[in-house]
Structure 1
């Protein structure tokens, strides 16, 4: 059943993104301002304590880097095999588009609600961690943006999630997590993810404006498979420069325009309904018995926050609330994200 679902998602990925036409008027590349490419680095910390809670998705940390914008995808120096995968999922090397490649190394940690209980808890999320790498190809104009992500990683003890959480809790004086003996087994994971967004300008005056962004995205793999649509509204300065990496969870990517010579800022509110086919952090290991709960397929994510880019620096803070990811628990989960970017 899982294999059939995964094949269906991958098929939907290709159909949704390979044949979509341009839905908004795009300015030719030659009519847009192309700045000299720069290298960016981003540090991101996600934690549910930002939202005043502990348990569930409890912590994440990532280091991202990238370079852009370029006129052609080949100039990004990204691997040809990654470019070929992006082409297969509808991210074309169009000379009318800006292009960039970004990469991330990240760790995510999940625990049940009561981390002081040393016993197995059958009706709560399992202890789980992921250590992963993400490669992303970006292609965008002032009104449309495409992304392809390849995620590779491992869940289980090899993710070092147990050690990371225990060190952080010891430093901060928090409760020691006692149930890591019941975490997921080691398993390599992957996900192919594609996204297309459209930007519609509602109002613009003296650089300040309001815009609306609609996003279609999908993911397929044993890490997670889903299809989703996102609706976002923003208010701020120079919005047309900062939409390329926008997301309902913006801290999980790197903005290839972060840190520019001009000041940019905006506040945003977004909502994303999604249908999730599989999630290893909920379903448990794919080919081995492991702790698990019952996946709730229909999910909803809300997020709000602000972004500020000035000269060489970029700052992002967001708060997200998600409906429950599994049937055994009612109620929502919350976490916050803080990202700091620097242009080298």
Structure 2
């Protein structure tokens, strides 16, 4: 293995907000997601984290390098997602609508770029769903702060349960026009997630047009959603300024969604989920080397359960900086 980057680069912090009311007047279904992550500098050859990559490479066809040039990084993250029905004024939630639910989690990701055109990401998230995820407190305290009505049905939602998700994804950066740094490219991706919170397999692609495209593989997202990663490498940049406009699509085959299927081992509210779900996304990303980045986008998600009135629209906003 040959590392492209050298240890000692800055750590990169990213704050990601996803909210259905970010750009529109809405407060339903996937109503709030918040994720804070930190991306390590490129690992030095002697770094102990390389043992984790090598262990996984010994278990299957992942993180294989051979003579290929590669760079490895670690991502640590903490997040919370909140789900509610459409009518939050009811004390007894509508049994035919999505149940109340929260997901509080932390995790670690292993990221490896190979030959400057392929990125692999293996991610483990552990946490808790239900009242212990503090969804009610986060939503209603914020509603009190901005002086709007609280959600009244949190007592009848998903019950407390430990949660675990293991995700693996692979992305490829394919130039379509320009020199690979500046122009147009497409980032196809395939991946799967296994766990009691979400289990699904998906694939899609992100089309990008702009400058310094080789700095990353698209903006980070919160699961389940269009694939994005924390990965960034300013060694690839031609000048400090980078930006791109992007549009993407992803389809998922969903085996489990605890926020629709209900708890694993106890009775809880549930609805009949749709097996196939799709996202369409568009937005713009702007960054200045590794020092600052900002992304805004809008996502249209297809109906996730039977009886859902209409697709959901989710706004996203990302701010990041190095340290």
* TM norm structure 1: 0.83
Structure 1 residues 138, 299: CA separation in 2 closer, same or farther (over 3 Å shift)? same
CA distance in 1 between partners of 2:299 and 2:230 (Å):
18
- Contact 1:40/1:258, CA 8 A, preserved across alignment: no
- Contact 2:261/2:270, CA 8 A, preserved across alignment: yes
In structure 1, what is the equivalent of residue 214 of structure 2?
240
SS at match of 1:97: strand
Deviation at 1:33, TM superposition (A): 6.5
Give the counterpart of 1:197 among 146, 171, 196: 171
CA distance in 2 between partners of 1:258 and 1:111 (Å):
39
Give the counterpart of 1:117 among 90, 108, 127: 90
Structure 2 unaligned regions, length at least 5:
none
Instruction: Name the one with the larger helix percent.
Output: 1
CA distance in 1 between partners of 2:125 and 2:180 (Å):
40
In structure 2, what is the equivalent of residue 25 of structure 1?
none
- Contact 2:219/2:285, CA 8 A, preserved across alignment: no
Structure 1 residues 269, 51: CA separation in 2 closer, same or farther (over 3 Å shift)? same
Matched, 1:84 2:55: yes
CA distance in 2 between partners of 1:258 and 1:316 (Å):
17
In structure 2, what is the equivalent of residue 5 of structure 1?
none
Deviation at 1:80, TM superposition (A): 4.9
* TM norm structure 2: 0.89
CA distance in 2 between partners of 1:268 and 1:305 (Å):
5
In structure 2, what is the equivalent of residue 315 of structure 1?
294
Give the counterpart of 1:37 among 2, 9, 16: 9
In structure 2, what is the equivalent of residue 339 of structure 1?
318
Deviation at 1:280, TM superposition (A): 0.5
Deviation at 1:256, TM superposition (A): 3.3
In structure 2, what is the equivalent of residue 16 of structure 1?
none
Give the counterpart of 1:138 among 94, 101, 111: 111
SS at match of 1:170: helix
CA distance in 2 between partners of 1:244 and 1:206 (Å):
14
Deviation at 1:254, TM superposition (A): 2.3
Structure 1 residues 174, 216: CA separation in 2 closer, same or farther (over 3 Å shift)? same
SS at match of 2:22: helix
Structure 1 residues 245, 114: CA separation in 2 closer, same or farther (over 3 Å shift)? closer
CA distance in 1 between partners of 2:219 and 2:62 (Å):
14
Structure 1 unaligned regions, length at least 5:
1-27
CA distance in 1 between partners of 2:90 and 2:5 (Å):
57
In structure 2, what is the equivalent of residue 107 of structure 1?
80
- Contact 1:44/1:63, CA 8 A, preserved across alignment: yes
Aligned length: 314
Matched, 1:282 2:260: yes
Deviation at 1:252, TM superposition (A): 6.7
Deviation at 1:255, TM superposition (A): 3.4
In structure 1, what is the equivalent of residue 247 of structure 2?
269
CA distance in 2 between partners of 1:83 and 1:245 (Å):
27
Give the counterpart of 2:70 among 71, 94, 97: 97
SS at match of 1:327: coil
SS at match of 1:150: strand
Structure 1 residues 206, 55: CA separation in 2 closer, same or farther (over 3 Å shift)? closer
Structure 1 residues 214, 154: CA separation in 2 closer, same or farther (over 3 Å shift)? same
Give the counterpart of 1:302 among 280, 285, 300: 280
CA distance in 1 between partners of 2:309 and 2:54 (Å):
42
In structure 1, what is the equivalent of residue 232 of structure 2?
256
